């Protein structure tokens, strides 16, 4: 059986709860394509051991990501990266993105980065992640 290591970093001085830090990083890696569709996730115990984090925290992360249809459980065989699009309602998806963009807007205003430039930067980031996603799909 293939054992792999997920690269997750826990920031202990962050104001973000640990389960959200882990969930966000898994989402990010799926978006980037470093975690691929149908890929098997480490078991709750393995990931808890790797990160030195309470098993219930990992369980909570997996449950939440399953609810969001980002991961799926195959009875008996384990937890996998789900196939297909997530089915979170569009309003909720917008809400999540708006919150993060709000933080980015505050930073941009403080640092004196013009709105046009912010648009360009966002475009560039979006495209580069999409391209990486494409590349890792072609590698399969």
Partner 1 sequence: MSEWAIEIENLHFSYGRNEILRGVNMKVPVGSIFGFLGRNGAGKTTTIKTLLGLLTPSAGSCRVLGIYPAVDPLAVRSKIGYMAEDQQMYGWMKVQEIIRWVGSFYPSWDDKLIAGLLDLLELPREGKVKTLSKGQNSRLALLLSLGHHPRLVILDDPTLGLDPIARKEFLRYVIGLLQRDGVTVFFSSHLLYEIEPVADRVAILDHGQIVKSASTDELRESVRRFIIPKSDFNADHLTGLLDLTRDSDSASLTVENCDEKKRAQIVQLAGQPIHEQGLNLDEIFEAYVIGNRGVEKKIHFHNGHVYGEEQAHA
Report the interface residues with partner 1, using CB under 8 A.
Answer: 10, 12-19, 45, 48-49, 51-57, 60
User: For residue 137, what are the contacts with CB-CB under 8 A and spacing of at least 6?
Assistant: 33, 36
Q: Which residues pair with 74 in a beta bridge?
A: 78
80 neighbors 41 (Cβ within 8 angstroms):
yes
CB of 5 to partner 1, least distance (A): 15
Nearer to partner 1, 17 or 78 (CB): 17
Nearer to partner 1, 87 or 98 (CB): 98
Four-residue CA torsion sign, 73, 77, 82, 83: negative
Nearer to partner 1, 13 or 85 (CB): 13
71 neighbors 82 (Cβ within 8 angstroms):
yes
CB of 123 to partner 1, least distance (A): 29
CB of 95 to partner 1, least distance (A): 15
CB of 83 to partner 1, least distance (A): 30
62 neighbors 27 (Cβ within 8 angstroms):
no
Nearer to partner 1, 38 or 45 (CB): 45
Measure the CA–CA gap between 101 and 75, rounded to whole angstroms.
38
């Amino acid at each position: 059986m293939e054992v792999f290591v997920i690269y997750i970093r826990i920031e202990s001085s962050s104001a973000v709860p640990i389960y959200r830090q882990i969930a966000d990083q898994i989402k990010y890696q799926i978006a980037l394509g470093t975690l691929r569709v149908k890929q098997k996730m480490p078991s709750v115990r393995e990931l808890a051991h790797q990160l030195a984090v309470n098993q219930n925290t990992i369980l909570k992360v997996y449950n939440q990501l399953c609810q969001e249809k980002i991961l799926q459980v195959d009875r008996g065989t384990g937890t996998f990266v789900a196939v297909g699009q997530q089915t979170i309602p569009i309003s909720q998806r917008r809400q999540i993105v708006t919150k993060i963009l709000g933080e980015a807007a505050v930073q941009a205003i403080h640092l004196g980065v013009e709105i046009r430039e912010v648009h360009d930067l966002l475009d560039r980031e979006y495209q580069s992640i999409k391209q990486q996603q494409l590349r890792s799909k072609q590698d399969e």
